[in-house]
Amino acid sequence: MPFEPTLDSVRQHQVPDWFHDAKLGIFIHWGLYSVPAWAPHGGDIDQQVAEKGWEAMFANNPYAEWYLNSFRNGDTPTRRHHLDTYGNNFSYDDFAPQFNQAVANWNPDTWAALFKRAHAGYAVLTTKHHDGFLLWNSARTSPKKPAGYATTRDLVGELTDAVRAHGMRMGLYYSGGLDWSFEQRPVRNFIDVYSTIVQTPEFVEYADFHFRELIERYQPSILWNDIGYPAGADPIKLFADYYNAVPDGLVNDRWSQTVPAEERIPKPGEPIGPPPSAHSDYTTPEYGSYKEILPHKWEATRGIGHSFGYNQNEGESDYLASDVLIRMFADIVSKNGNLLLDVGPMADGTIPAMQVERLDALGAWLDVNGAAIFGTRPYTRAEGTTTADLGVRFTRKGDTAYAILMGTPAESNLSVVGLRAADGTTVRLLGHAAPLTWTQDGDNLTVTLPPGIKPDAAHTLEIQPAPTSV
């Protein structure tokens, strides 16, 4: 049945199984900011906000893709870096010919093959970030810039074809609220993020045109909007038309058309997310997660380091260690989430080696433990522990439960607290063919592990039929 342009109608849209099953997506932040590839060295955004507050964070923004805003935001480290490196007469727009020259030899299949090795189910590319520069050959570029403020290659189309050729879904990011080619005021605090959304009728029509052009050309599996949407726009009609064109597509939750009040500012320790939208298929906490299973689908989004766009200041210690990444991923999946893990390519399309290493490590772990992740749904609880205080995360697929041990057990006899298995239950350690010997010790399930288990970020017990959680 076709969707109508009403809130009641689009709210009937269901999250498709492919998104529930995929679990892992790859975010790609790539654009003009990839040429300077610079942001001040610092911690994750939530850490900086908690320690210094929002204004200090925006003055020292760890996101390299916010280079233009950081440059405009007074005497900031980014402004000083820019003037020292490029001089007074070099504008942000002057990065455009450099970027177009850099991407000339980019091979999208190299990216798609890497994402596939990591077992990603989908990818999401920034078609236009807040600077307004387009990564596809649109019929319309920013009227506030010289003609052709866009890539000469159709980067969106080429990557879409490559990703789909490797059996993955393609989503498209578009900054539908912020566009710094239209709006010159810098963002200095959390309220500014939303009060600087472009509200002119010209921009409303421009953003709507772009979304419809992207849908018509590429049929994206996800419309991933960012930083709200103009109050004068009609996102509900856009959603209805999109669902009718791509029935198993999704829209995220960053379509709010209001400026949040002071009490809506995320507090330290709270996941950083947008104000509520009238409709979305899932939510997108940024550099954060949840403590419990959520009934609705959600997607944690973050970089491998502190930035989404490539930041040349970041070194090994700034990137998630592979074991931390793997355990973070298991935790997210146990709570009904997906992980949208970002790579920040260099201007020429090279994905830095430290990022490739993390994706390959995640892929290698999933080669063995993927059954506990892909196609699963939450168990009756997300978290548990062993009697030796090793953390456990649970998932379920049909009548099979998975207990993901968040590290390598020190003991050969391991007891998972609060699991009661039925007679005839089979317990296996993924990666080992033979069933394990197990006993029921009161409310704890005790298993004897095979000898010589190699240290790893996490190990998985497969339990069939699924035990009762006590």
Structure-token pair, residue 444: 């704890």
Please tell me the distance from the alpha carbon of residue 57 to that of residue 53, in angstroms, as a whole number: 6
Nearest to 282 by CA among 254, 241, 303, 258: 254
Please tell me the distance from the alpha carbon of residue 181 to that of residue 148, in angstroms, as a whole number: 13
Structure-token pair, residue 156: 């969106």
Nearest to 302 by CA among 250, 343, 251: 343
Q: Are 127 and 174 in contact (CB under 8 A)?
A: yes
pLDDT attached to residue 461? 98
Please tell me the distance from the alpha carbon of residue 61 to that of residue 54, in angstroms, as a whole number: 10
Q: Are 373 and 334 in contact (CB under 8 A)?
A: no
Instruction: Pinpoint the residues of the chain covered by CATH 3.20.20.80.
Output: 7-372
Q: What is the pTM of this model?
A: 0.97
pLDDT attached to residue 271? 78
pLDDT attached to residue 9? 98
- H-run or E-run covering 47: helix 45-52
Please tell me the distance from the alpha carbon of residue 308 to that of residue 343, in angstroms, as a whole number: 7
Mean pLDDT of 143-152: 95
Confidence grade of residue 256 (pLDDT, cut at 50, 70, 90): very high
What's 361's DSSP letter?
Answer: H
The pLDDT tens digits of the residues spanning 182-226 come to 999 999 999 999 999 999 999 999 999 999 999 999 999 999 999
Q: Which CATH number applies to 7-372?
A: 3.20.20.80
Better-predicted residue by pLDDT, 258 or 329: 329
The pLDDT tens digits of the residues spanning 430-450 come to 999 999 999 999 999 999 999
Please tell me the distance from the alpha carbon of residue 151 to that of residue 146, in angstroms, as a whole number: 13
Nearest to 56 by CA among 220, 168, 188: 188
Using alpha carbons only, give the angle 91, 95, 100 rounded to the nearest 5 degrees: 155
Structure-token pair, residue 314: 């970041």
Nearest to 225 by CA among 179, 185, 188: 179
Nearest to 226 by CA among 24, 15, 27: 27
Mean pLDDT of 138-163: 97
Going from the C-alpha of 396 to that of each of 326, 338, 373, 418, the distances in angstroms are 18, 15, 9, 16
162-176, 180-194, 253-267: range with lowest mean pLDDT? 253-267
The pLDDT tens digits of the residues spanning 103-137 come to 999 999 999 999 999 999 999 999 999 999 999 99
**Torsion angle defined by CA atoms of residues 396, 401, 403 and 404, in that order, rounded to the nearest 10 degrees:** -40
Structure-token pair, residue 196: 């600087």
Place of tokens 């609880």: 381
CATH, domain 377-469, list 3.20.20.70, 2.60.40.1180, 1.10.10.10, 3.40.50.1970: 2.60.40.1180
